[in-house]
Structure 1
C-alpha cells in the first residue's frame, strides 16, 4: 500500500499542497481536477502502449489520438442522407478552421508548452476532447457533460503536470523493482487521493481497502459471463476488483506463469491483452455500477477506464428509490453500501418489504432483490445488522437464512476502515434461492460459517501501516472454500459452523453475531504472593543495599511499601 512508499506518499502530499495554495481548497473539487489530469496522462500512456503491443503482434490499432477532432459545437446533428453528407463535407472542407489535430491533445505534447499557453490549450481543447472521448451517445460523455475544468492559474497547472509526471515515474520504478503491477500502484495512488476527501465518512461513505475487495472477490470467485453489479459503487473499486479477478483467472488458464502474489498474498493482473476479443467483449458487458453522487460517477468511470475498461457501465441512479426498477438481473453483487442512518420513506422502492428507513437494512434487501436465483452477494454491513433487536433487523436476518443460502458471516476488526471510521463491520456472503414471491417450502440455509478476523495485515490505527504477513486474509479464503459442517465444530476456534436450526430457535431468534455462538476459553493465571510482589517493588525503588542503607531511605513510598509488606507478611 501507498503508506509504505514514502516517496510516492510525499509526491501526493505535494500535489495536495499545491492545489490548496493554488486556491482549490475543497478536497472533493481538488480530487476531481486531479483525476482529470491523471486520466489525461494515463490515456496517453495507455494508448501508446496499446499501439506498441499491436505493432509487436502485427495487429491493426486505431489510436484515440489519430486524425482530426471537431468540437461538438461545429458538428451538425441532422439525420438522414443530406445530414450525413453535410457532416462529411464539414469534416473534409472545414477541418482546418474547426478541427484539431488529435496528436496535439496528448499529454506528452501539451506538457511542453509555456504556462499561459498550456492552460488555454487544456481548458479550451484537451478537456472538451476528453469529455467527448467516446462519442456523443456514450455513457461517459453523458456523465461528463456537466464536468468543468476549473484550475484557475497557469502556474498551478504547470506544477500539477510536473508532479503527476514525477508520480508516474515513481510508479513505473516501483512496478519494475517490486514486481507489483502498475495498475495496482495506480490504485494505491487513487486510494490515497480519495482518502483526502474531507467528507469521507460522512453519510457512511467509507473507501473500502483494496485488500478487503480482493478478499471478497476470492470468496465469490466471479467468472467470465457473470453479470456483476455494485448498487452503491463510489469510485468503482468492487467492479475493478471483480474485473481483475476474472482477468487473472483467464490469464492463468491461458498459460501465464509470471504472476506473483502481492504483499497481501493475492495474485492479480489488470492486463486483458492476452484475452480473445470475444472474451474481452463479454467482460466489458459484465460490470454495472450505480451511485447517487454525480462526481463519484465520473470518478468511477475514469478509474475503470484508466484500468483498460473502455466503456464502463456506471450510471447515476438511486438504487433504493422508486425509479430504479431492476430485479433479478445479476449473478454477482459486491458492495459496501453507505450507512446513512435513514432515507425519505416516501421515496423507498415499493418492492422493498422491510418496514424501515435504515439504509443498512434496505440495501441488503435490495441486493437480494437484484440477484438472479442462484446469484451470490458479498456485502459489508455494520455489525449491528447481525444482532439488532428491532423487527426489521430480525426480518432481514430471517430472509437471509430462509430465502437465501447464508454461507458465511465474517466479522472484521473495527480498525479496518480507519482513518475514516472505527465502525465494527462484517461481511455477509449469501446465495439467493427463493424469490420474494416464492413460497418457501424448505429454508435454504443448512449451516452458516462464522469467522472472526483478528488482523488484515495492517495496523488497526489511523496510519494503517503494513505489518509482517497478511493477517487472516489467506486463511479466510482457504478455510471458507474447505468448510465442512462435519469438521468445523470447535466453537473455541477462529472459525466454525452453526446449523440453521440453532440460529432460528427461540433462544437465538436469528441472531447472527459470532459472539452468540463462540465459546470463550479462560486461562488460569497464577500470581506471586503479595509479599513477593511488594519485595520486588521495594527493590525497584532502592536497589541492592544493605540494612544500614535501607534504614536511611525508609521514608516516603519505600516506608509505605515496607509497612504494607509487614502487614501481609
Structure 2
C-alpha cells in the first residue's frame, strides 16, 4: 500500500505543475513518467555497474554509454544521480538541449530488456515543463521519495493515474480499479496464458492481471519458464494514442513487468492475420465512440458483423483474437444487450449460439462518473466455435461501494464480493435462484425466444407486496368524520372570539 507520505509528495508534484501552468492531467502524468523513467534508467545502470564489479565481466548495453557525445559532453551528465545535484537553471538547460534528444534518438539504440518496451515509444516524447523552478522542485520531490518497497512504485503510479478526472476523447475514460479487479478475479488469469487488451489506454487491466498472477502463483517469478513468459510474452496492449502507449508501458514497468508488448495499433482499422486466435484472455473496456466509416474498418471484422458501431466491432475483434477456449471479460454499453438493429441481433446470436456466453453483470449507471453517466454491463464469454451456451448467469449490481454521483464517495459496503462469491457457485447454487433475486440464470432457449435480448430486466421478475386497502366507503366515512371535527373546532373558535 502506498503511504500517506508518498501520497502527500505526489500531491505536491501535482500542485507544482498546476501552479507552474500545466493543468492537463495527461500532460502532467506524461512529464512525470519521463522523470520516473530516467530515475529507473539510472538505477538499472547502477545495478549493472555493481554486478560488473562483482563478476569482473564488463556491463553491456548500458542506457548511458561511457564517454562523450559528439560535442564532447559526458553521457553521465544525463544520469539522475548527476543532474539531481545541478542548479535548477543548469538542469533545465540540460533537459531542453540534450535530454530528450537522448531519449528519442540514442536510448532506443542502447537499451534492451526492461527498458526497451518503454524506449520504443519515445519517438514523439516532448519536454513541456515550463520553468527551471518547476523542474527542479519536481526532481527534488521524486529524489526524496522512498520507493524501496516492492510494490511502492506501482502503487505510486496508480495513485497518480487516479487523478485523471476528465473524460478522454473518442469516448475514452479510465475504468475504476475495483471494477477491473472484479473482472480479473472472475476470469482468473493463469501462468503461460497470453493476455490482451486491444484498447489498453493506461494498461489498467494488464496491470491488475499481472498483480493477480503474482499474488496467486508463488513460484511464478521463481520458475525460469514462467518468469520469462511473464516478463516478455504474457501481456499485450494496443492503442493508437502515443501518449497513452508511453503511460501504459511505464505503468506495467513500474508494476514489475519488464518487457510488455504495448504496441501502436488502431485495433478496428488494421487487419489481424498475425493476431488471429492468439490470446487466451481478453480484458477490455473499449471506447464507445459511436460510428465509423466502413472504409476505416478492417475487412476481417466486417466479415463477422457488418456495422459501423464501434462497440459491436470491438466484440467482433475479441472473437477474432481469442483462441478456441479463450475467455473474455469486456465492458459494453447497455445498447449492445438489447439493440434492435440487424447487426446487434446477429452479434448477440453469434456469441450465444456460436460460442458460450457465461454471464451478464449489470453495472449501475454512476460507475463511470465523473467521466460519464452511461449505463454499462460486463459480458463474460468463452470462444468455442461450437456453441455451448446452456444457462446465462445474470447479476444486478446495485452498489459498487461508492455513491453514484459525481463525488463518488466511499460507502463502506458493496455488491462486488457477492458477485464473485455467487459467480463461483453459478453451476450449482445459482441455478436454483428465483428470478426475483439479485442474481439468477436464464436458459439459452428462453434467450433465443426473446430475440437474443440480453438485458437483465427482460428476465428479472419483480415481487409486489400485497397491500390491504380500505374500501372507498370507509375512506369517504373517515373524510366525513374529519370534516365534522374541523367544523366543530371552528365553531368553538368563533365562540371564543365573541
Distance verdict in 2 for CA 1:142–1:188, change over 3 Å: closer
Does 2:320 correspond to 1:369? yes
Aligned to 1:234: 201
Within a 5 Å distance, the mapping from 1:460-471 to structure 2 comes to 460-469=404-413, 471=414
| Equivalent position of 1:40 in the other structure | 38
Q: CA, structure 1 residues 215+183, in 2 after alignment: closer, same or farther (shift >3 Å)?
A: farther
The Cα shift of 1:100 comes to 1.9
Does the aligned pair in 2 maintain the 1:317–1:324 contact within 8 Å? no
Consecutive unaligned residues of structure 1, counting only runs of 5 or more, are 75-95, 255-271, 435-439, 535-546, 555-569
Whole-angstrom CA distance in 2 between matches of 1:203 and 1:241: 24
Q: 3-state SS of the aligned residue for 1:202?
A: coil
Alignment match, 1:334: 283
> Scaled by the length of structure 2, what TM-score is found?
0.83
Q: Which residue among 368, 371, 389 is the counterpart of 1:420?
A: 371
CA-CA distance at 1:356 after TM superposition: 1.2
1:513 aligns with 2:455: yes
Q: How many angstroms does 1:235 deviate by?
A: 1.0
Q: Secondary structure at the match of 1:451?
A: strand
Which residue in 2 is equivalent to 1:248? 215
Q: Deviations over 1:233-257 (max 9, x none)?
A: 0011111111111111112xx4xxx
Alignment of 1:231-310 (within 5 A): 231-251=198-218, 254=219, 274-284=221-231, 285-310=233-258
Q: What's the CA shift for 1:33?
A: 1.2
Alignment of 1:398-409 (within 5 A): 398-409=349-360
Is the alpha carbon distance of 1:201 and 1:516 closer, same or farther for their aligned partners in structure 2, counting shifts above 3 Å? Answer: farther
The residue matched to 1:235 in structure 2 has which SS? coil
Residue 485 of structure 2 aligns with which residue?
A: none
Residues 416/155 of structure 1: CA separation in 2 closer, same or farther (3 Å cut)? same
1:66 to 1:387, Cα distance in 2 relative to 1, 3 A: closer
Matched residue, 1:430: 381
Q: Is the 8 A contact 1:228 1:333 kept in 2?
A: yes
Show the counterpart of 2:155: 185
Q: Is the 1:204–1:339 contact (alpha carbons within 8 Å) kept by the matching residues of 2?
A: yes
Q: Secondary structure at the match of 2:26?
A: helix
Distance 1:524 1:12, change over 3 A: farther
TM-score by length of 1: 0.73
Structure 2 stretches lacking a partner, 5+ long: 480-488
Cα distance, 1:19–1:343 mapped onto 2, change above 3 Å: same
Which residue does the alignment assign to 1:68?
A: 65
The partner residue of 1:100 within 43, 61, 75 is 75
C-alpha RMSD over aligned residues: 3.7
**Partner SS, residue 400 of structure 1:** helix
How far 1:20 moved relative to its partner? Answer: 3.5
Equivalent pairs, count: 470
Q: CA–CA distance in 1 between the matches of 2:65 and 2:22?
A: 33
**Superposition map of 1:141-156 within 5 A:** 141-156=119-134
Give 3-state SS (helix, strand or coil) of 1:204's partner.
Answer: coil
Q: Does the CA-based 8 Å contact 2:276-2:320 persist in structure 1?
A: yes
- Do structure 1's residue 112 and structure 2's residue 85 form an aligned pair? yes
SS of structure 1 residue aligned to 2:202: coil
For residues 359 and 473 of structure 1, the distance between their equivalents in structure 2, rounded to whole angstroms, comes to 28
Distance 1:338 1:128 in 2: 33
Corresponding residue of 1:565: none
Residue 483 (structure 2) aligns with: none
**Secondary structure of the equivalent of 1:145?**
helix
Shift of 1:493: 1.0
Displacement after TM superposition at 1:184 (Å): 5.3
Measure how far apart 1:318 and its partner are: 0.8
